Amino acid sequence: MEIREFAERILRSADLEEKLAPVTGPVTDDAPGAAVRYVSPARLPELRFARRREAPPMPHAESFTDPLKRGLAHHIMANHELQALEVMAFTLCAFPDAPAEFRRGMIDVMADEQRHTRMHIERAAVLGVRFGEFPVNGYFWRKAQEFRSLLDYLAGLPLTFEGGNLDHTLEFAEQFEAAGDPRSAALMRVIHRDEIEHVRFGLEWLRRLKPEGMSDWEAYSAHLHFPLRPGKSKGRTFHRAPREAAGMSPEFIAQLEAAPRK
């Protein structure tokens, strides 16, 4: 399958099974095509992005003793993973001149996003919540519309949204465990391990594509579009170990830890 064909299938098909179907067989990149910026991904009516403030907020951890609240949490995170997949497909179509090695590497990352989406959907269903039962937000997608370069994408999605997940996944694992739901906790720890590799991939390409003489931190900060900022890539508790595992330098980690969350 051509990489462009795979990306366009994700963006053009509203069918969830098609969106989440992984690549089978050899992957080629012989026809990356012209640059195309999709305004919105095709989605089933119940999964179309709601207007601001219509989608329910993440439930508080104190409510996780209620299986339906945990199901809602998985519902929200399934939409986050699906959006990440769609933003990655958007990036492949918007920046077809990206290095072929980057584009091939994205296919592996996207396979993880597909798997994560399915994991959350299936867990939500076990807890009594059907995917699409609640309105969903389009925050990740809206921010992607501001990406004007591959460096913007790298700063925005892998290093900020997925970077934040280095903390959030551990927070949710602890909260689910405390609520007596070890299966949900185990799911979050699996995703946490994958996120380390996704952040590593983004950081590697930031280093390869940034201007000579610019530090990692300078390149990262310069390519964030407000309201995205370094503090958005942190959770309530800052974890150094997964960031070290992702290859961040001590200087980068120190600057990130010092960045205000608000």
- Would you say residue 57 lies in a domain? no
The residues near 27 (Cβ < 8 Å, ≥ 6 apart) are: 1, 2, 3, 6, 104, 107
In this prediction, residue 52 has a pLDDT band, given cuts at 50, 70 and 90, of confident
The residues near 89 (Cβ < 8 Å, ≥ 6 apart) are: 6, 7, 8, 10, 11, 41, 110
Could you tell me the residue range of the domain that residue 178 belongs to?
3-19+65-258
- Between CA 181 and CA 29 the distance in angstroms is 43
pLDDT (0 to 100) of residue 262: 72
**CATH number of the domain within which 129 lies:** 1.20.1260
- Would you say residue 59 lies in a domain? no
- Would you say residue 216 lies in a domain? yes
Collapsing DSSP to helix, strand or coil, 44 comes out as coil
pTM for the model stands at 0.96
- Would you say residue 159 lies in a domain? yes
pLDDT (0 to 100) of residue 53: 87
List pLDDT tens digits, range 228-256: 999 999 999 999 999 999 999 999 999 99
